[in-house]
Amino acid sequence: MTGNSELDALTEAEARAELARLAEEITRADLAYHGADNPRITDADYDALKRRNAAIEARFPHLKRDDSPSDQVGAPPAERFEKVRHEVHMLSLGNAFSDDELDAFVAGIRRYLGLDAQTALTFTAEPKIDGVSLALRYEAGRLVRAATRGDGETGENVTANARTIADVPDQLDGAPDLLEVRGEVYMAHDDFAALNARQSARGGKAFANPRNAAAGSLRQLDAQITRARPLRFFAYAWGVLSEPLAQTQMGALERLGALGFVINPLTRRCADMATMRAAYQEIEQRRATLGYDIDGVVYKLDDLALQDRLGFRSTTPRWAIARKFPAELAWTRLEAIDIQVGRTGTLSPVARLAPVTVGGVVVSNATLHNEDYIAARDAAGATIRDGKDIREGDWVEVYRAGDVIPKIRDVDLSRRPADARPFAFPRQCPRCGAAAVREEGDAARRCTGGMACPAQAVEKLKHFVARGALDIDGLGGRQVEALYRDGWIAEPADIFTIEERFGSGPRQLKNREGWGEKSARNLFSAIESSRRVPLARLIFALGIRHVGESAAALLARHYGSWAALAQAMDRAEIGQGPEWDSLLSIDGVGAVMAQALVTAFHQPAERASIDRLAAQLEIVDAETAGPADSPVAGKTVVFTGTLEHMTRAEAKARAEALGAKVAGSVSSKTDLVVAGPGAGSKAKKATELGVEVIDEEAWLALARGG
């Protein structure tokens, strides 16, 4: 009995239907924040829905759905927080999983900076805390704002919650006028255990691990709940600053420590590779007794001037890396191998496992990568796992490292069932029956059905409406699947004619199950407002293989407009010619991505579908110039001769970061030639064409903006 007569009167069938309805409604509300100036429901109504859902589940525990909204761990949905744009993006870290990869990272830095192996490089080493990152902005020494990382560009405003954390000072003495301190919020093991005990005593849901507990606690709408949760904070980085903190990473950490922040006591300074490795070993050995979760060691180049020269790739700094600990392991039975068909037709084998806890998380699926992996071969045809193939019914060893999807490491042949047969990887798409082919050099087998394959079509549509792409409010994965299944939409362009076709007349959206007058109207207006789309988002939304969000941004910046991009793709030939070269000149675009892009635009059915889509949209041009105040923004620059203060790679990356295009040869389109000693024909040609030629010093002054 719940004490609520309406709930107490529910029959089992009614409860089941009501839980389904609530799951839909709550999910829809969760999706509603993307671009929603008027969220679908108020916070209070949202909370009431969640409470009602929990009350029904408490009365009928066996009816709890697999997708129950109660399991959307602790964290209230992001839309409930005000958004914060990070002035300096919050980045992630590249990973190294072995000493060799760590060596390669250091060698890469030397190469980039043009240093030989003799030049000493000092790094800091510190534990990689397994929590959630937080940015704290102090103005005149006062904490004015705290924000989560979000997608790195935009986070959530959690100021009231951050103020409840004892390790987060409210007031700083002697700090720069503007100081953004970054670090990790985490929960210690004993606090986590006590919290879970309290939760279950109250009939609440236990958290899966300390990180989920920290994230859920930080992202509470009610700061009083956060206050009751024992969160802690380590400072390890910074964002915007009115003046530098120090000249070295270590110096900056010490300064933060002096200001009152907690700096991890295991932070070390390492002057050579041997010390770097020793720091890793020390931290790994102490891991079990630290009392909080860490998942690796972070190395950062100590000299901040060098950090500055190295700069960033699209999402990671060149001057830091995380050396991850080996993964956690567990044995379980592989019950079946399923084949999933992805957006680009890849057949992905998935292991369905008897549920097992690995590193504190229950795992019931693991990736099997591709057919070679199952057959115990690597991409080059060499044997892996000592030649043990993976079969349905096998006992397998599962591992996971950090957030990475669980994988299978080993097979116990002594427990293999007598009737187990080698897995026969399908030669036909299990969804549409089209041939599944494997091209030379490709590890994956792909369905050749294209948009005629329902799996590919629906995945493409889901990607198209998802976050980062068109982000259409009210049109989530489930809705897309239903509309596709009933033939209402077959390709992205169809979304923009839904209202025309199903806004009135015999078949109407509002009469479909799960829809109503209001939700249909809301969807039509969300679709209308998404017609106007920035070029980068559209490129990403197309769902072309290898073209992720940051590549889409680079392409948009390079081509500027949809017309320019489409024309370039029309003219491009794979592997040769000026358009191909132009594509490859984009820092961050390689031959594999370029080929996928050109292939997509040249494939007649796909191109026709893209054109139908473009005709429905108003595509907003991208800013092709770099930071508007840079004097080299939009200029085409050629470097020639020997550069003394930087390597070619560095010069190119720096110029591009300032919005310049870097070309390999001089033509009438060149704006500027930077010539070092030994410059030959290029400098001469520039003079003949009347192109400005400057030396490296002048270039550096220009790049500094002066």
Q: Collapse the DSSP code of 267 into the 3-class scheme (helix H, G, I; strand E, B; otherwise coil) and give the result.
A: coil
- If the CB atoms of residues 318 and 557 are measured against ligand IVH, the closer one turns out to be 318
- If the CB atoms of residues 299 and 373 are measured against ligand IVH, the closer one turns out to be 299
706 in Cβ contact with 631 (< 8 Å): no
Distance CA 531, CA 259 (A): 49
Token pair, residue 293, equals: 């979760």
- If the CB atoms of residues 22 and 237 are measured against ligand IVH, the closer one turns out to be 237
Helix or strand run (H / E) with residue 504: none
Pick the catalytic residue from 64, 128, 635, 661. Answer: 128
- If the CB atoms of residues 184 and 650 are measured against ligand IVH, the closer one turns out to be 184
Closest by alpha carbon to 185, among 138, 150, 235, 143?
235
Distance CA 485, CA 472 (A): 19
Distance CA 148, CA 165 (A): 14
Strands 636-640 and 661-663: parallel
- If the CB atoms of residues 33 and 236 are measured against ligand IVH, the closer one turns out to be 236
Q: Is 16 exposed, middle or buried (0-12, 13-18, 19+ CB in 10 A)?
A: middle
Distance CA 236, CA 29 (A): 36
Distance CA 354, CA 336 (A): 10
219 in Cβ contact with 134 (< 8 Å): no
For residue 589, the minimal CB distance to ligand IVH (Å) is: 23
Q: Is 539 exposed, middle or buried (0-12, 13-18, 19+ CB in 10 A)?
A: buried
Positions touching ligand IVH (CB under 6 A) are 91-93, 126, 128-129, 133, 149, 184, 236-237, 298, 317, 320, 322
DSSP state of 337: E
- If the CB atoms of residues 276 and 675 are measured against ligand IVH, the closer one turns out to be 276
Helix or strand run (H / E) with residue 602: helix 591-602
For residue 294, the minimal CB distance to ligand IVH (Å) is: 8
177 in Cβ contact with 152 (< 8 Å): no
DSSP state of 73: -
- If the CB atoms of residues 279 and 583 are measured against ligand IVH, the closer one turns out to be 279
Distance CA 225, CA 332 (A): 38
Helix or strand run (H / E) with residue 137: strand 132-139
- If the CB atoms of residues 237 and 674 are measured against ligand IVH, the closer one turns out to be 237
- If the CB atoms of residues 91 and 231 are measured against ligand IVH, the closer one turns out to be 91
> Which residue's Cβ lies closest to ligand IVH?
133
**300 in active site:** no
399 in Cβ contact with 328 (< 8 Å): yes
- If the CB atoms of residues 141 and 311 are measured against ligand IVH, the closer one turns out to be 311
Question: Taking CA 595 as the corner, what is the angle to CA 591 and CA 601, rounded to the nearest 5 degrees?
Answer: 150
Distance CA 576, CA 597 (A): 14
Other CB atoms within a 10 A radius of the CB of residue 486 amount to 10
DSSP state of 205: P
Sign of CA dihedral 156, 160, 166, 169: positive
For residue 343, the minimal CB distance to ligand IVH (Å) is: 26
For residue 312, the minimal CB distance to ligand IVH (Å) is: 8
Q: Collapse the DSSP code of 76 into the 3-class scheme (helix H, G, I; strand E, B; otherwise coil) and give the result.
A: coil
Strand order in the sheet with 178-186: 142-148, 132-139, 178-186, 232-241
Closest by alpha carbon to 229, among 192, 176, 189, 256?
192
428 in Cβ contact with 418 (< 8 Å): no
Annotated active-site positions, please? 128
